[in-house]
Structure 1
Amino acid sequence: MPDQNPDTTPLAGQVALVTGGSRGLGRQMAWAFARAGADVAIVSRKLDACEATAKEIEADTGRRAVGFACHMGEWDAQQQLADAVLSEFGRLDILVNNAGIAPVYDSLPDVTEALYDKVFDVNVKGAFRLMSVVAPRMAAAGGGSIVNISSIATKRPMPRELPYAAAKSALEIMTQGFAQAYGPTVRVNAILPGAFDTDIAAGWDPEVVAEEMAHLPAGRVGRPDEIVGAALYLAGPSASYTTGVLLPVDGGRTAMGR
C-alpha cells in the first residue's frame, strides 16, 4: 500500500549549498530545501542579498541559513567557498549549481570576447571547479547529491542565446561525467528549465516570448516555484537510483520536437 504518512522533511539533518540562491530559481530551491528539513548555504556575488534571504528562510522555516559571497567565475573562489561552508556547517550533502548568466546581444557578430568568456566562466568554469572540490569530500563522507541547473536552450538553441546554450551544454557533459567519476556514493543530475518568470526574463522580448509560449503544451511561462518538485526529487532520497540524468522542466517544449 502507499505510504499513508509521507515524510515531509526528507532532507532533515542535511546541508544544502545553492549558488545563485538569493533570487529566482535558486531562492525557490533554497527555501524548499529548508522546508524539507535541510540547513542551507545561500551563495551569490552580493553578500547582503544572501544574508537577507537567509534571515527570511530562518524566520519562515526554523532551519539554519547562512549567506556567503562568491563569484562563480573565479577558479580559486570555489575552494574558499567549500571550505567556508564546511567550516560553518560541518558537512555538505547537497550542492546545487544554479548560478548563471545569459547576457543579451543584438546579433552574433556583436558578441564580444569579454561577454563570451564571462558566460563560460560563470556557467561552466565555476560549476566544474566547485564540483571538483565538493564531490570528493561528499564521497569521503559517505555520499551526497549534486544538481546542476542547465537550460532547455541546449536542446532548442536560438540565435539570441548561443554562447549561453553552448556553456550549458558543457555543464550537461560535466554532469554525466561527474556522475560516473563519483558514483555510486555521489549522485549528479541536471535540471533543464524552460522559460521561467525570473530576473533573466527581464531581457526577453515579451511579444516573442508570448508567441513561443502559446505553442507549448503548458501554454505559458513557468513560475519560479515550479522548479521545486524536480529539485527536491533529485536532491532527496527518492532519487537514490537516479544519476547522470538530464531532466527537462520546460512546459513540454522538448515534447514538441522543435
Structure 2
Amino acid sequence: MSSLDAAVAAARALDQPLAGRRALVTGGSRGLGREIAIAFAAAGADVAVASRKKDACEELAEELASATGRRVTAHAAHVGDWDRLDPLLDEVEQELGPLDVLVNNAGMAPLYSSLEEVSEALFDKVFAVNVRGPFRLMAAAGKRMVARGGGAILNISSMGSQRPTAGDLPYTAAKSALNTLTAGFAQEYGPSVRVNTILAGPFATDISKAWDPEAVARMAQDWPAKRVGEPHEIVGAALYLCGPHATYTTGALLAVDGGRLAAP
C-alpha cells in the first residue's frame, strides 16, 4: 500500500475508528462515562458498561445496542472493591471477548465542611475509587492486553489535579496520583499498550447540580471558553486517545477544560 493509499484508508477510518474493538467503561451509566460509552458504540466498538447500579447499566445497554447494533453489556461493579475487579474483566471477556480498550472513568468527589472534618473513612473511600481501583484494573487489564498484542487505556482525571483547592483536596490529591499512575503504566506496558489521561474541566453533568450556578458563572468569566462544558464535548478526546490516530501518544495528560488551566 502506498503512503497515499494508507492516508486515505486512515481518513476513512475516522467514521468508525473503534470498529471491531471491545471497550470497558467504568462509571459508564451516567455523566462523562455515559457519553464515552455512547460515542464508542457509535464508533463501532462493543462496549461493557460498569457501575455500582446494574439496573442503570442495563437500561443504557439496551438502548445503546438498539441504536447502534453493537453488543453492549451491563456489569455491576464498585471499582473501590479490589476483589471485584479481576472477576469483572473475566465477565467482560466472556461476554464480549478480549478487551482492547479500558476507560477508568468512575470517580467520586464528596463534599465536606472543612479539611479537619474529613474522616479517615471518607479519605480512604475517595482514594479507593479514584486511585486503587484504576490501579488494579490497569495492572490486570494491561497485562492481558500485552499478552494479546496491545490495547489502549484511558484515565479520566481532573484539571483540579493541577489546581487543587481546600474544598476538594482529597479528590484532587487522588486524581494527581492517577496522573502519576498514567506515566508509570505507560512505561510498564509500552510499546504495545498506550496509557493516557484526560484532565477534565467542569462539565454540566448530574454532579454539577450541586454547584452554585452564579459562582460558577463568575469564575467562568476568567476561562477562555467562559462556560462549563457539555458532556458530549469530552468524546472527541476520548475517541482520539483510544483510536488508531493516537499510536504515538502515550503517557499524556490532555486537558479538556475550556482553557481553565490556561487561565490565571
Same fold (TM over 0.5): yes
Q: Which residue of 103, 110, 120 corresponds with 1:113? A: 120
SS in 2 for 1:103: coil
Write the deviation string for residues 170-202 of structure 1: whole angstroms up to 9, x where unpaired. 000000100000000000000000000012212
Which residue of structure 2 aligns with residue 9 of structure 1?
16
Q: Pick which of 47-56 and 194-203 moved more.
A: 194-203
| AA of the residue aligned to 2:171 | Y
Question: 2:42 aligned to 25, 29, 35, which one?
Answer: 35
Q: Residue in 2 aligned with 1:197?
A: 204
Residue 224 of structure 2 is aligned to residue 217 of structure 1: yes
SS of aligned partner of 1:6: helix
The one-letter code of the counterpart of 2:211 is: W
Unaligned 5+ runs, structure 1: none
**Contact 1:107–1:160 (Cα < 8 Å) also in 2:** yes
Q: Unpaired runs of 5+ in structure 2?
A: none
Deviations for 1:98-157, whole angstroms, at most 9, x for unmatched residues? Answer: 000000112111211111111000000000011111001001111000000000001111
Partner residue of 2:190 out of 172, 183, 195: 183
**8 Å Cα contact 1:104/1:203 also seen in 2:** no
Equivalent position amino acid for 1:52 in 2: E
Match of 1:239 among 235, 239, 246: 246
Measure the CA separation in 2 of the matches of 1:160 and 1:210: 18
Task: State the Cα distance separating 1:3 from its structure 2 match.
Answer: 4.1
TM-score (ref. length: structure 2): 0.95
Shift of 1:205: 2.2
Q: What letter corresponds to residue 73 of structure 1 in structure 2?
A: G
- C-alpha distance after superposition, 1:13-68 (max 9, x if no partner): 11000000000000000000001100000000000000100011111111110000
Query: 2:85, 2:136 within 8 Å by CA — same for their partners in 1?
Result: yes
| Greater Cα shift, 20-29 or 197-206 | 197-206
Of 16-25 and 197-206, more deviation after overlay is shown by: 197-206
CA RMSD of aligned residues (A): 1.2
Percent identity, please: 60
Match for residue 235 of structure 2?
A: 228
Do residues 93 (structure 1) and 100 (structure 2) align?
yes
The amino acid that maps onto 2:79 is M
Aligned residues between the structures: 257
Question: Structure 2: how far apart are the matches of 1:128 and 1:177?
Answer: 10
TM (normalized to structure 1)?
A: 0.97
The amino acid of 2:19's aligned partner reads: A
Residue 249 (str. 1) matches residue 256 (str. 2): yes
Q: Contact conserved, 1:55 with 1:65, CA < 8 A, in 2?
A: yes
Higher alpha-carbon deviation: 237-246 or 209-218: 209-218
Q: Which residue of 2 aligns with 1:124?
A: 131
Match of 1:169 in 2: 176
8 Å contact from structure 1 (residues 102, 200) kept in 2: no
